Amino acid sequence: MAATEAAKQAIWLKELMVEIMNKEDKKVVLKIDNKSAIALTKNPVFHGRSKHILSKYHFIRECVEFDFIEVKHVPGVEQKADILTKPLARIKFEAMRKFIGVKKINIPKIQVGIKGENVG
């Protein structure tokens, strides 16, 4: 269901970029860590376990069928969005921060004191 919302937004952004840049680009690639969700996008057979899903969430299946988007599996440990959505241990946080291209910057500390005071 989250993949459907992501597909809607990604297609909208792609269309916006086509309009702004005036050129066609590659199809949208969604990277999902849920193999069952991926299977539902590729297999139009309704299973007993999926019949509760509202029809509006089948939009992603149509997008895959008409080749608007491509769905790929990415293991959960490689999901770049995790740094933004989950609490992570320091080592994992630093690895994910590097993975998304954010760099740590060191800002020198400036000591401010009142005139005549010893600051050091």
Q: pLDDT (tens digit, 9 = 90+) per residue, 14-35?
A: 889 888 988 777 788 888 888 8
To the question of pTM greater than 0.85 for the whole model, the response is no
Give the residue numbers spanning the domain of 35. Answer: 2-74
Q: Let me know if residue 61 belongs to a domain.
A: yes
Q: Compute the CA torsion angle 41, 44, 45, 49 (nearest 10 deg).
A: 30
118 CA to centre of own chain = 51
Burial status of residue 4 (CB atoms within 10 A of its CB: 0-12, 13-18, 19 or more): buried
Q: Let me know if residue 89 belongs to a domain.
A: no
Q: Let me know if residue 42 belongs to a domain.
A: yes
Question: How many domains is the chain partitioned into structurally?
Answer: 1
Q: Let me know if residue 84 belongs to a domain.
A: no
Q: What is the pLDDT of residue 116?
A: 61
